[in-house]
Amino acid sequence: MKKYLMTGLLVSLALQAGAAVAAESATAKAVFAGGCFWCMEAPFDAIDGVKSTTSGYIGGTTKSPTYEQVSSGRTGHAEAVQVIYDPKKVTYEKLLYVYWRNIDPTTPNRQFCDAGTQYRTGIFYVDEAQKKAALASKAELEKSKPFPGAVVTEITAAGEFTPAEDYHQDYYLKNPVRYKFYRTGCGRDDRLKELWGVQAGGGTH
């Protein structure tokens, strides 16, 4: 009897492990840089099918950088957000649409009131399918853009992504008053409306 119980337990554990692996494989990852990462979590969190967003650093040379190092502009990193999503519920193309309409793609090494290479815009693709989709979306934007100025957002392969310190995660939820003050004071929403009109924020797609 003990033997059968043990066998049943092992089978149950194996099934649970298999289910966990299946659940893990059902998600995909995307990485976007759009200036201050505080302001890039909220737009993606609002999308049905997005499971999580994580603020962090990508595109630099320093191993496991800190905020102080990145903010100095000497590590080569950009502030970015890593998006974990369910591709059965939301497409990468949808994420791209929302991404573009939450940034100013015409300013190199700057977003709104924040200047420096750490605030550059960028799409960091994790595979060839994402690369193809990102390049296509940029080409389409360059063709039909509603604003003057060249699109300078970089599209490059994703390297190591380092999560930012805990106090940066979900900042817009933890500190809503300070977040709103920063966002408004930085002129982010006014500039997005100037660039994108009713499409600003991506909520109309």
pTM for the model stands at 0.86
- Residues paired with 56 in a beta bridge: 80, 163
Which candidate in 36, 39, 113, 186 is catalytic? 36
Q: Report whether pLDDT(28) > 90.
A: yes
Say if residues 84 and 55 touch (Cβ distance below 8 Å).
no
- Nearest one of 12, 30, 50 to 155, comparing CA atoms: 30
- In this predicted structure, what is the pLDDT of residue 120? 98
For residue range 79-128, what is the model confidence (pLDDT) as tens digits? 999 999 999 999 999 999 999 999 999 999 999 999 999 999 999 999 99
Give the per-residue pLDDT at 202: 87
Neighbours of 103 (CB within 10 A): 25
164-200 per-position pLDDT tens digit: 999 999 999 999 999 999 999 999 999 999 999 999 9
Q: What's the rounded Cα separation, in Å, for the pair 154 and 56?
A: 17
For the question of residue 36 being annotated catalytic, the response is yes
Domains located in the chain, CATH noted: 26-202 (3.30.1060.10)
User: What are the residues whose beta carbons fall under 8 Å from the beta carbon of 191, sequence distance 6 or more?
Assistant: 104, 112
Share of the chain above pLDDT 70, in %: 86
